[in-house]
């Protein structure tokens, strides 16, 4: 389990940006979430082949993760989101304070992303007239963005999601 400052020393990954705020403040200022996602996306896409396209895709991806953190509705702890890079791969690490039941949901949802029936669940969630599918954002990242997603329980009230995105093959230097 990787914690705190160890996360930014992930072998081969260089830190780009980190945003952290209390879960209470994050929930209170939810309307600002899209601004945070857009800011982070613009900051990390400056040297990509098509920085505008990259920024739009990255903003959508990070916004999905921030929405998961918001839905945890856990007033204690800190929501921390950091972006690291290794070549063409951008890694988003997001620490989500959550009640134990929501933490178990996140761990199980990530575990099932690559399992049998994952694509069918995603297609069903997209076309269903029923209420929203709580893991639709993770399914979208895995299936539409080709994200490699893992989750670890930091403790009984915090989960860390690690999302590796490869949104383009070329990188300008």
| CATH code: domain of residue 154 | 3.30.565
Tell me, yes or no, whether 67 lies in a domain: yes
Tell me, yes or no, whether 53 lies in a domain: yes
Tell me, yes or no, whether 56 lies in a domain: yes
Tell me, yes or no, whether 5 lies in a domain: no
Q: What range defines the domain where residue 50 resides?
A: 14-165
Query: What pLDDT is attached to residue 4?
Result: 41
Check pLDDT > 90 for residue 28. Answer: no
Nearest 10 degrees: Cα torsion 56, 32, 140, 82: 80
| DSSP conformational letter for 133 | P
Span 90-100, average pLDDT: 94
How many domains does the chain divide into?
Answer: 1
Query: What pLDDT is attached to residue 2?
Result: 36
2 C-beta neighbours (distance < 10 Å), count: 14
CB-side neighbour CA atoms (13 Å) of 142: 22
Comparing 16-30, 44-58, 111-125, the range with the smallest average pLDDT is: 111-125
CB-side neighbour CA atoms (13 Å) of 169: 0
Tell me, yes or no, whether 170 lies in a domain: no
Tell me, yes or no, whether 8 lies in a domain: no
Q: Quote the pTM value.
A: 0.86
């Amino acid at each position: 389990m990787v914690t705190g400052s160890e996360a930014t020393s992930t072998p081969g990954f260089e830190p780009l940006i980190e945003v952290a705020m209390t879960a209470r403040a994050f929930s209170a200022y939810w309307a600002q979430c899209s601004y945070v996602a857009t800011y982070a996306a613009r900051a990390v896409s400056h040297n990509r082949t098509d920085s505008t396209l990259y920024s739009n895709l990255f903003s959508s991806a990070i916004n999905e993760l921030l929405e998961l953190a918001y839905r945890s509705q856990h007033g204690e702890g800190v929501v921390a989101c950091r972006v690291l890079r290794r070549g063409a791969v951008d890694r988003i690490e997001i620490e989500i304070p959550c009640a134990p039941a929501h933490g178990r949901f996140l761990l199980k949802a990530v575990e099932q992303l690559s399992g049998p029936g994952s694509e069918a669940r995603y297609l069903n969630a997209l076309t269903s007239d029923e209420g929203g599918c709580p893991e639709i954002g993770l399914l979208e990242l895995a299936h539409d963005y080709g994200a490699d997603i893992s989750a670890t329980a930091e403790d009984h009230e915090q989960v860390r999601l690690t999302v590796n995105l490869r949104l383009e093959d070329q990188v300008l230097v």
